[in-house]
Each structure stands twice: as C-alpha cells, then as structure tokens.
Amino acid sequence: MTKDKNNWLEKMALAHPLVIAGPCSAETEEQVMKIAHQLAKTDATIFRAGVWKPRTRPGNFEGVGEIALPWLQRVKKETGLLTAVEVANATHVKLALEYDIDILWIGARTTVNPFAVQEIADALENTKKIVLVKNPINPDLELWIGAVERLQTANIKNIGAIHRGFSTYQKTAYRNNPNWQIAIDFKNRLPAIPLINDPSHICGNREGIFDVSQMALDLQFDGLMIETHTNPDKAWSDAKQQITPTRLAEITKNLKLRKSKFEKEFALEKLENLREKINLIDNELIKMLSKRMGVSKKIGTVKKEQNVAVLQPNRWNEILKESIKKGDKEGLSNLFMEKIYKAIHQESIKIQEDILKR
C-alpha cells in the first residue's frame, strides 16, 4: 500500500491490500449471509453487494432494493465486515445512510453524468462515510477527476477511486479495457486518493481475475474489489465474472506484493543505467517521429496541389498490415502495433488536413 493516502485507509492498518468482496447482487438474505460468513474467513475487510443494479437493457435483474439493506446490517453485526453498496441518486444515498452502510460507491454509469454526481455529493455533504468513485464507462480522465472534485467541494473527506476499466467498440480480451495508463495518470494527478482495482468488471470472466489483480498490485494500487458468490454459475447477475470465497482466498494468498523502491545500491545503479538507455532510445524515437511527420507535411502539400483527399484507405491498410507483421517478428504484440500506428496515422491526417485548409 502506498503512503500518504486518505486517513480512512491508513486507519485500517491492514497487513495486506484492502480487499472488498461480495456478490454482484444481493439476491436473498440467506445468500447474503452465507457469502458473508465465508468471506469473514478470508482477507476481505469490506462486504459489497449490489442493491440497486443499473442494467444496460430493460428486463434484466435490477436489484431487490431497500429490502436488502437490513441484510447488510446483519452482515456487519455477525461478521464484523464493513458494508458497501452502490448509489446512483439522492434517494439511494438517503436510504444507505438510514441503514448506516459504511461505504458508498458511485458506479461507472453514474460517474459519466455530472448532474447525478452533484446530486449525490449534495446528499452526502459533510459526511464522514467513505465514498468511492468508479471510473466513467468512457475513457475520460477529466470526467473521473471531476467527480472526485465534486465530492471534495461538498466537504467529503474520505474519498477513494475504483478502476473498473473502460468500454470500447473494439472486441478485446477484456469486458472493459483496463487502459492502465489512465489509472496511472489518475494516481499522478490525485496521489492522496486511494485507488482500488476491480478485476471482475475488467475481465468479465473469472479466469483472468488473478492476473489483473497482480498487475494492479504491481502498479501500486491500494486494494481490490472482487465479486464473490457461493454459487457463481447460479448468480442472478454477472455470473461469469464471480468467484467463490474459497477461490478469493487462494488468489489473495498467491498475490505477490512488490517493494516500492530498491533497497540495494548496486541494483539501483543497474536500474539507472538501463533507464538512461531508455532515455537515449526515446530521444531517437522522437527524432524519427518528427522526421516522419515532416514527410507527412510534404505529402499533404502534394495532395493539396492535386486536390486529392487526405485519407487513402488502401495505402493506410497496407501500412497497418505490414507494420503489424514486422512488429510480430520483433516480439511486439499486434494490439500494441495497431495502437501505435493508429496514433501516428491520426497525427499524420491532422497535419495534412491543416495543410489542405490553408
């Protein structure tokens, strides 16, 4: 766990990263209690359960609502686990406070709407409850930070963030693409806000949860939120991404915690030498990219003289295909090469379009 975080996390004085676990949805009191008692024997500190479930399409299970809140009170009384629910409006907040829920989180579909976030912030003004903000479904760092700032403006002191990945129109190995750089940028911009990873929603399946969790810890995340169910395949929502409490215990046991800095001088010196090599290579990369864009300018001039459209699909597809093939031979992933060349192509188009407008 990184230092200088909010007091609420420091006060927990955990011997392991924060673990929030529980079912995607609270289904029945029996189900909730059975899961909670099993989680009490794991590294989990907080019991999460969806009470109000925003679904993509109508007709899907949208939660049992207020009747589940007394079940969470019973969870805390019998197991000692703190409790957490998702809130999407002021009514949800009011009920969660009435039932003394410890932690409230704002979901990805709510974070994307500043009006909804402001409504929640107003309803929670001056609260000492812990409030967690999931990243918006679209990859928008400013929108995520803006939601946190709205809570801070409402004098809410105990704030955290949850990284659950981002929607994308492209099919990938993830349900929600992690876009790790956005989470890293969030940490750099708001270093005092604890950052928790949600591998369940990133993966969309239980098989990848360990690897994503380990990646999060390698990036110095402060905790994990993992959906757990005693009978995942029979869950009323998101069955594929939930794991059993037993599997959760195995995962947290096998996760490796990395040191935040080098302790041996020779290792640090070796690292600095390698970093210097990276700096030199990066300088060359920048120079080469500048040269490439210089050629793009000349191409833009020729296209303007001949009144030719900027985008030449056949040429672009040929470049992309060949670049991916060459990258593969050098041990670079297809996805990486595709992202790099799409970014280069986008900048090249911008440069040529500017020339055509002159």
User: Where do the domains of the chain lie, and which CATH numbers do they carry?
Assistant: 7-254 (3.20.20.70), 265-357 (1.20.59.10)
Q: pLDDT for 315-333, tens place per residue?
A: 999 999 999 999 999 999 9
- The pLDDT assigned to 146 comes to 98
Q: What is the mean pLDDT of residues 263-269?
A: 73
CA triple 162-336-198, angle to 5 deg: 15
**Strand pairing partners for 228?**
243
Q: pLDDT for 33-86, tens place per residue?
A: 999 999 999 999 999 999 998 877 787 888 999 999 999 999 999 999 999 999
Q: Is the pTM here over 0.85, yes or no?
A: no
Please enumerate in sequence order all residues whose Cβ is within 8 A of that of 134, keeping only pairs 6 or more positions apart, or say none: 105, 106, 107, 108, 111, 161, 162, 163, 164, 198
Q: Say if CB 223 and CB 19 are below 8 A apart.
A: yes
Asked whether the CA dihedral 108, 135, 173, 208 is positive or negative, the reply is negative
DSSP string, 133-157: EEPPSS--HHHHHHHHHHHHHTT--
* Lowest-pLDDT choice from 75-89, 121-135, 245-259: 245-259
Q: Say if CB 239 and CB 23 are below 8 A apart.
A: no
Q: pLDDT for 135-180, tens place per residue?
A: 999 999 999 999 999 999 999 999 999 999 999 887 788 999 999 9
Report the mean per-residue pLDDT for the chain. Answer: 93
Both structure tokens of 345: 């192509």
User: How many C-beta atoms surround the C-beta of residue 207 within 10 A?
Assistant: 11
Quick one: 143 exposed, middle or buried, by C-beta within 10 A (0-12, 13-18, 19+)? Answer: middle
- The pLDDT assigned to 56 comes to 75
Q: How sure is the predictor about 10, in pLDDT bands with cuts at 50, 70 and 90?
A: confident
Share of residues in the chain with pLDDT > 90 (%): 83
- The pLDDT assigned to 4 comes to 53
- How far is 76 from 84, CA to CA, in rounded Å? 10
Inform me whether the pLDDT recorded for 2 exceeds 60.
no
- How far is 259 from 110, CA to CA, in rounded Å? 35
- The pLDDT assigned to 262 comes to 67
Both structure tokens of 173: 């190995």
* DSSP tag of 274: H
User: How many C-beta atoms surround the C-beta of residue 18 within 10 A?
Assistant: 20
Q: pLDDT for 192-228, tens place per residue?
A: 999 999 999 999 999 999 999 999 999 999 999 999 9
CA-wise closest residue to 138 among 176, 187, 194: 176
Q: pLDDT for 17-40, tens place per residue?
A: 999 999 999 999 999 999 999 999
Q: Where are the alpha helices (DSSP H) in the chain?
A: 7-12, 29-39, 69-79, 90-98, 108-111, 114-123, 141-153, 180-189, 199-203, 209-218, 245-254, 265-305, 313-329, 334-357
The residue written with tokens 């673990």 in the block is 19
- The pLDDT assigned to 1 comes to 40
The CA–CA distances, whole Å, from 123 to 69, 83, 102 equal 18, 19, 15
Both structure tokens of 121: 């912030």
Please enumerate in sequence order all residues whose Cβ is within 8 A of that of 193, keeping only pairs 6 or more positions apart, or say none: 5, 6, 148, 159, 160, 161, 186
- The pLDDT assigned to 59 comes to 76
Both structure tokens of 204: 């969309």
User: Three-state DSSP class for 219?
Assistant: coil
Q: What is the mean pLDDT of residues 230-251?
A: 96
